[in-house]
Amino acid sequence: MTKTLIKQLILIVSLTGLYACSSVKNMEMYNFSDKESDDLYEVTIINETNILVYPSSGGNMMVGINNRSAGKLKWREYFKLYLPKGEHTLYLEHRDLFIFKSEHKITLTSHENYIFIKASPISNSLRMLNVIPQNFEKDYKERINDSAGNMRKI
């Protein structure tokens, strides 16, 4: 009886792990503007997830804004996009044993905005800065948009 119970537990844990690794249906891709203008504010979204906590997933985070997908950021990657001034909704998702999703309201008031996103064991978090952090170019790698302004599929 004990061996049967152990086999069932192993099967349940294995299936749960496989489910957590399955692909997610993507939202419609957001067509971000590549050109800066006076009415658009630059937003830099940076993934600063601790790679020691998420070594198997590489610290990947799915990012969406205003009900549209912006793509996936790997650990220490960032991308830039341009949005109008005001309030926007940022969606974050990462996979662990389960899928963790969160929704955050952000307000753009400055022409330069740096949003640091981070996965934690039970949720996602972000912090916003209006000035470029020290050693930013050295510590992070840019993920480039394609010619249509959409994130590349990798």
Instruction: Look at residue 90 and tell me if it is in a domain.
Output: yes
Between 39 and 118, the higher pLDDT residue:
118
In a domain, residue 61? The reply is yes
pLDDT in the model for residue 36: 58
Domain total in the chain: 1
Please check whether residue 120 lies inside any domain of the structure. Answer: yes
Q: What domain range is 79 assigned to?
A: 24-142
- At 40-66, the pLDDT tens digits run 899 999 999 887 766 656 678 899 999
Q: Which two tokens stand for residue 38?
A: 């006076």
Residues 74 and 76: their CA atoms lie apart, in Å, by 6
Dihedral (Cα; 138, 135, 149, 128), 10-degree rounding: 150
Residue 11, helix vs strand vs coil: helix
Residue 13 lies in a domain: no
Question: Does the pLDDT value for residue 102 go beyond 90?
Answer: yes
Give pTM, 2 decimals. Answer: 0.71
CA separation, residue 83 to residues 37, 57, 87 (Å): 10, 29, 10
The reply to whether 58 falls in a domain is yes
Residue at 19 is within a domain: no
Is 122 a domain residue?
yes
* Mean residue pLDDT across the chain: 78
Each residue's pLDDT tens digit, 17-38: 555 554 444 444 555 555 656 7
* 11 lies in some domain: no
For position 45, which CATH number holds? 2.60.40.2890
Q: What is the mean pLDDT of residues 68-86?
A: 89
pLDDT over threshold 60, residue 149: no
